[in-house]
Amino acid sequence: MPGAAERVFFMKKRAVLSVSDKSGIVEFAKELEALGYEIVSTGGTARAIRDAGVKVTGVSDITGFPECLDGRVKTLHPKIHAGILAMRNNPEHMKQIEELGVTPIDIVAINLYPFKQTILKDGVTLAEAIENIDIGGPTMIRAAAKNWQDVAVIVDPKDYKTVIDELKANGEVSKETKFRLAGKVFEHTAQYDALIADYLRKQRGDSPFADSLTLTFEKVQDMRYGENPHQKAAFYREIGKADNVLSAAKQLHGKELSYNNINDANGALDVIKEFGYDTPVAVAVKHANPCGVATGADIHEAYLRAYEADPVSIFGGIVALNREVDAATAEEMAKIFLEIIIAPSFSKEALEILTKKKNIRLLELPNLAKANAKGTLDMKKVAGGLLVQELDTELLNEEDIKCVTKRQPTAKELEDLKFAWKIVKHTKSNGIALAKDNQTVGIGPGQTNRITALELAIKYGGDKVKGSVMASDAFFPFSDCVEAAQKAGITAIIQPGGSIRDEDSIKAADEAGIAMLFTGMRHFKH
């Protein structure tokens, strides 16, 4: 049984430090040493602290057991874990650890092997990823968090200062702080385990629709409010290597993006991805719906045509371009109020022009027009649940397109039909898009019936509708849309087909001399 000397040693404060992210750890160790703590560490952390002149007790000196299995086993020992888990207000616990010669551990500062950083590296092997799955670290921080009343556990370097300040002021870390830090542990390990599970699932090629779905995201920013001022909100990024998404954009100018800004900008990116980089294209979006889309010989012409498509709705909207913004285009965009401009890059002259406008947000995203990876998940939160589906990365299958009318579309009509099809795919259902010469002339989004959507698109288009083509995101249940198209001067239609009353629409198209294509693929967007 330990004698008086051991019981005195019992009273010495002990801190275990073992971190992958060494930000601030040396300074933290120096402060703890000055406060009378014995520093226990191992590996690279121990070397960094020793090199800074701090006395370090090795884990092996405590356990009496050497590190083994290439460092896989270091801290997995009762003299470590009993020191963490012993409840100070439990006499039986304290009696046991005294008998066993275990010293209580009061502070645990650990962050885990860099699994996320490892799997995000190009060319990483499964063996490398597996080797960066931490075992001892999660075990210690979970143990410390379970015994939070007695142990301050730190997984975030940002919390070092709080702990030191409280120790200096009060001689101990407050229970409120310990409880908060314990909560951060389980957030940390939950994210860590979710990343591992997701990585291994993808390595196996398993279905993403598992019986249990755990997701992990990282906060990008808190927001002033959500959709409305009375709603709190934050923006989180999905962990991964995607470089064509809004969270990867670099903001060059303007105030912080709002909830609605992000939602609408995402809608603009959805549309521009359909075009890639093949031809200059400009996309104007309002309330997540396209309101003006056009191609051009250059990006200046593309923007002018997108603006002319609907000069009313573009005001206060978002514009995405698949070419660098040059001075001429910037001059035109500066003439109206735009919330956001997203582009692969901005010329020096364009930035000089646009940054004179205080309220415009400029986002640089070099790969904005790169298509989304097939199999990417699309999620929608509903009350009490989560809807998960594969992202709609398809457009149409050329071999499935069939002309169902007597008249075939001309080559020019076919080009415009495919253009309109790209737009209507990203228009809220029920959706109609009218186009002519690779320019939208009228868009009818989000109506409760299809004829109203068409009537709205025709109203927006005015005189430009004559000679245009029409795309519908879903089939026509009645012939009324075809009849309205004839009256407006629309010459060709593209739609999925599949209604039990398709023949009514086909007959109406034949009588009107309208060419009609069926794609066999619908694009609902609710």
Per residue in 170-221, pLDDT tens?
989 999 999 999 999 999 999 888 888 888 888 888 888 888 888 888 899 9
Domain 250-364 adopts which CATH fold?
Cytidine Deaminase; domain 2 (3.40.140)
10 Cβ contact list (under 8 Å, min separation 6): 98, 103, 104
DSSP letters of 164-229?
HHHHHHHSS--HHHHHHHHHHHHHHHHHHHHHHHHHHHHHHT--S--SS----EEEEEEES-SSST
Mean of the per-residue pLDDT values of the chain: 90
pLDDT band at 5 (very low <50, low <70, confident <90, very high): very low
Per residue in 64-111, pLDDT tens?
777 767 667 666 777 787 888 888 888 888 888 888 888 898 999 998
Other Cβ atoms within 10 Å of 159 Cβ, number: 20
DSSP letters of 253-300?
ESSPPPHHHHHHHHHHHHHHHTTTTSS-EEEEEETTEEEEEEE-SSHH
Checking if the pLDDT of 2 tops 50, the result is: no
Question: What kind and span of H or E run contains 336?
Answer: none
Reduced to 3 states (helix: H, G, I; strand: E, B; else coil), residue 88 is coil
Question: What kind and span of H or E run contains 18?
Answer: strand 14-19
pLDDT at position 91 is 86
155 vs 184: CA distance, rounded Å:
7
166 vs 304: CA distance, rounded Å:
61
Known catalytic residues are 146, 287
Checking if the pLDDT of 7 tops 80, the result is: no
Domain 4-203 has CATH 1.20.140.160: no
494 vs 473: CA distance, rounded Å:
9
User: For the residues 37-64, what does the mean pLDDT come to?
Assistant: 85
Which has the higher per-residue pLDDT, 305 or 44? Answer: 305
- Secondary-structure percent of the chain, ordered helix, strand, coil, rounded to 5: 40, 20, 40
pLDDT band at 9 (very low <50, low <70, confident <90, very high): very low
Checking if the pLDDT of 12 tops 90, the result is: no
DSSP letters of 358-411?
TT-EEEE-TTTTSPPPTT-EEEEEETTEEEEEE-------GGG-EE-SSSPPPH
350 vs 344: CA distance, rounded Å:
13
DSSP letters of 484-517?
HHHHHT--EEEE----TTHHHHHHHHHHHT-EEE
Per residue in 432-473, pLDDT tens?
999 999 999 999 998 999 999 999 999 999 999 999 999 999
Say if strands 377-382 and 385-390 run parallel, antiparallel, or are unpaired: antiparallel
Per residue in 136-160, pLDDT tens?
888 889 999 999 999 999 999 999 9
Q: Among the ranges 32-36, 65-69, 257-261, 300-304, which has the highest mean pLDDT value? A: 300-304
Residue pair 312/293 in contact (Cβ under 8 Å)? The answer is no
What end-to-end distance do the CA atoms of the chain give, in Å? 72
Separation in Å, CA 424 to CA 280, 448, 473: 19, 16, 6
Residue 251's φ and ψ, nearest 5 degrees, are -85, 120
Tokens 């051991």 appear where? 6
86 vs 92: CA distance, rounded Å:
9
pLDDT at position 73 is 64
Reduced to 3 states (helix: H, G, I; strand: E, B; else coil), residue 311 is coil
Share of the chain above pLDDT 70, in %: 96
Rg of the chain in Å (alpha carbons): 31
Which numeric CATH code is attached to 399-518? 3.40.140.20
257 vs 220: CA distance, rounded Å:
11
Q: What's the one-letter identity of residue 407? A: R
Task: Give Cα 313 distance to the centre of its chain.
Answer: 28
145 vs 150: CA distance, rounded Å:
9
Q: Where in the chain is the domain with CATH 3.40.140.20?
A: 250-364, 399-518
pLDDT band at 364 (very low <50, low <70, confident <90, very high): very high
Q: Can you name the residues that pair with 385 across neighbouring β-strands? A: 382
Q: Where in the chain is the domain with CATH 3.40.50.1380?
A: 4-203
